[in-house]
A and B are shown apart, each in its own frame.
Chain A
Amino acid sequence: QQQVKQSPQSLIVQKGGIPIINCAYENTAFDYFPWYQQFPGKGPALLIAIRPDVSEKKEGRFTISFNKSAKQFSLHIMDSQPGDSATYFCAASMGYNTDKLIFGTGTRLQVFP
């Protein structure tokens, strides 16, 4: 019940495409869902986050869609660029008594020119 399932494991798109990464969870106590971007040799960097009372959130070219009833959320990257090539992680946490993040397994995105 503590897991966050992420798919696909890897994704290849052309520049300008819209890669979509999906995550699913079981524990309805999760109330915070961030996405992180990680480049080789670097720590994860927070991209965008959402809470269950919102169905969609946009920040620049990144959009989170959240489906509370299906217990799923996804990241869309609009007009993807080669510089977006990185590994993306979704995560979830229950904020009421812990800030522990449960991470998905990661998606390696490659954007070709």
Chain B
Amino acid sequence: KAGVTQTPRYLIKTRGQQVTLSCSPISGHRSVSWYQQTPGQGLQFLFEYFSETQRNKGNFPGRFSGRQFSNSRSEMNVSTLELGDSALYLCASRPGLNTEAFFGQGTRLTVV
């Protein structure tokens, strides 16, 4: 069974630009969550989706948004990029609610 697939793996963007990251969950998994990982703040929750509905959102500015499609694939978007948005963005999928979460390898975003 293929794992969680995140694309692209690496991305370099300029301040002020916007970026879209993609996550394909494990086949059959309906829940997708996003996390930001930085050396200073650690792993922080961004948002979670189940059956195309956002269930919860973390404490991030409105520049961070996401969505989930009917095939459970998810995207997150960051607009007006800032240097501080440089991070590893991780996607996790679960087969259902209150089950184990499996992470992808992440997308390394660098904002210059």
Interface residues of chain A, those whose CB is within 8 Å of chain B, are 32, 34, 36, 41-46, 49, 89, 91, 95-106
Contacts and interface: CB of A to CB of B under 8 A. Distances in A.
Given A46-B101, A49-B100, A103-B35, 19 more contacts: A32-B98, A34-B101, A41-B105, A42-B106, A43-B104, A43-B105, A44-B43, A44-B103, A45-B103, A91-B43, A95-B97, A95-B98, A99-B56, A99-B97, A100-B56, A101-B43, A101-B45, A105-B42, A106-B43
Nearest to B43: A103
B98 A100 contact: no
Given A43-B90, A44-B103, A100 B33 contact: yes
Chain B interface SS verdict (over half): strand
Contacts of A96: 98
A36 B102 CA distance: 10
The 5 closest A-B pairs by CB, nearest first: A95-B98, A43-B103, A103-B43, A98-B56, A43-B105
B101 A101 contact: yes
19 contacts: A32-B98, A34-B100, A41-B105, A43-B4, A43-B90, A44-B43, A97-B55, A97-B56, A98-B48, A98-B55, A98-B56, A99-B31, A99-B55, A100-B48, A101-B43, A101-B92, A103-B35, A103-B43, A106-B43
